[in-house]
A = this chain, B = another copy of it.
Amino acid sequence: MLSERQRMILSAIVDDYIRSAEPVGSRSISKRSDVSFSPATIRNDMADLEELGLLEQPHTSAGRIPSIKGYRYYVDHLIHQGGVKEQDVKRLRGLVAEKMNHWEGAVSHAATIVSQLTNYTSIVLGPDSFHTSLKHFQLLPLTDTTAVAIVVANTGHVEHRTISLPDGVSMDDMRRIAGLLNDKLTGVPFYKVKTVLYTEVANELRSYVDHCEHILSLLEDTLKEDAEPKVFLSGATNILMQPEFKDVDKVKGILDVLEETPRLMRLFQSLSDGIQVRIGTENGVEAINQCSLVTATISADGQLLGTIGILGPTRMEYGKVIGMLDYLTGDLTRLYNRLYK
């Protein structure tokens, strides 16, 4: 258990380090107006905190920096909320009004604003295939040989895909195929769609039309795309402005993760509801061991609509970020309800 003074010192060190990115010495803490202990006293506590694994020393003659465990303690016990500024709130609120007719536009716009306000990277993920099911399927003939497939998910999310048809598929065939799919697939979660397609749908389809296999694989392709969550990124290069990432090689690994959707998604696995903070190695991804990720789920009526994450250095302004996400998810939920209810 930490003493009151030790908690105060830890808090001061984390705050200072977040601001300056430089190791914090005992003297600089002692000089703070709200501190009335000598550097020597503080040094003793710092040594204790280091023994507890909450602080680290880059080298003997340097100050202390927080360890992962130190940040964790800070986030869990010491953080002072309400870091969201008046003007930031205004900016965030504005977007709900501005983009009020377009859900995806609003979400991505929100992410852009947050990344600008924080100077970190924001990542938006749509819901994954476990949380969404097919609501409606439609085939729209385009030319003699092409059609547009339109897939609507239960979240209200819509996808389309142009497909080129094999010869000999009539308008009537298409209507029947669409009807069949709506019959069989409505309400089926996307991760099960493939299975159902090849069991229940396949047999019946065979009696309707030729080229059945080809059409099935086309449909599979089309629906597969919907099963993959959509990713939106903003401020990916902000990480380059952080002094601890002056080295190109360190940054390369991080940006690579951001560029490859599957690797990026692994970061968002097994999240629980609400706001969550993952610090450094807690993310379990080698390349971003030096980064923290704050995530928030967006949902309405128990339906998961997406996840928004803020990626920055472990030396992140946790209070500010958590405050913003807290505010933002509430606003987005309200917007969703206004749009789709």
Residues of A within 8 A of B (CB): 101-104, 136, 138, 140, 142-143, 145-146, 148, 150, 152, 156, 158-164, 218, 221, 234-237, 240-241, 245-248, 251-252, 255-256, 259, 339-340
How long is the Cα–Cα vector from A124 to B109 in the complex, in angstroms?
Answer: 22
How long is the Cα–Cα vector from A160 to B340 in the complex, in angstroms?
Answer: 17
Residues of B within 8 A of A159 (CB): 160
- Contacts A246-B248, A247-B248 aside, 8 further interface pairs with beta carbons under 8 A come to A101-B164, A102-B161, A104-B162, A136-B142, A148-B158, A159-B160, A237-B259, A240-B251
Residues of B within 8 A of A248 (CB): 240, 245-248, 251
How long is the Cα–Cα vector from A79 to B214 in the complex, in angstroms?
Answer: 45
Among A136, A142, A160, A246, chain B packs the most CB atoms within 10 A around the CB of A142
Give which listed residue, B102, B140, B142, B240, contacts A162 with CB less than 8 A: B102
Q: Are A237 and B255 in contact (CB under 8 A)?
A: yes
Instruction: Sample 9 A-B pairs with CB under 8 A, ordered by A number.
Output: A101-B163, A104-B162, A142-B156, A142-B158, A150-B160, A236-B259, A241-B252, A248-B248, A248-B251
How long is the Cα–Cα vector from A247 to B102 in the complex, in angstroms?
Answer: 40
- Knowing A102-B161, A246-B248, say if A237 contacts B221 (CB, 8 Å): no
Give which listed residue, B103, B158, B252, contacts A237 with CB less than 8 A: B252
How long is the Cα–Cα vector from A291 to B136 in the complex, in angstroms?
Answer: 47
CB distance from A292 to the nearest CB of B (A): 20
Residues of B within 8 A of A255 (CB): 236-237, 240
- Knowing A241-B252, A248-B248, A248-B251, say if A339 contacts B146 (CB, 8 Å): yes
CB distance from A179 to the nearest CB of B (A): 15
How long is the Cα–Cα vector from A140 to B236 in the complex, in angstroms?
Answer: 36
CB distance from A289 to the nearest CB of B (A): 18
Q: Are A164 and B340 in contact (CB under 8 A)?
A: yes
How long is the Cα–Cα vector from A339 to B221 in the complex, in angstroms?
Answer: 16
How long is the Cα–Cα vector from A241 to B253 in the complex, in angstroms?
Answer: 11
Residues of B within 8 A of A164 (CB): 101, 339-340
CB distance from A176 to the nearest CB of B (A): 19
Q: Are B162 and A156 in contact (CB under 8 A)?
A: yes
CB distance from A228 to the nearest CB of B (A): 12
Q: Are A156 and B161 in contact (CB under 8 A)?
A: no
How long is the Cα–Cα vector from A259 to B234 in the complex, in angstroms?
Answer: 8
CB distance from A112 to the nearest CB of B (A): 10
How long is the Cα–Cα vector from A230 to B158 in the complex, in angstroms?
Answer: 18
How long is the Cα–Cα vector from A160 to B140 in the complex, in angstroms?
Answer: 12
Q: Which residue of B lies closest to A255 (CB)?
A: B237
Residues of B within 8 A of A145 (CB): 340
Q: Which residue of B lies closest to A217 (CB)?
A: B101
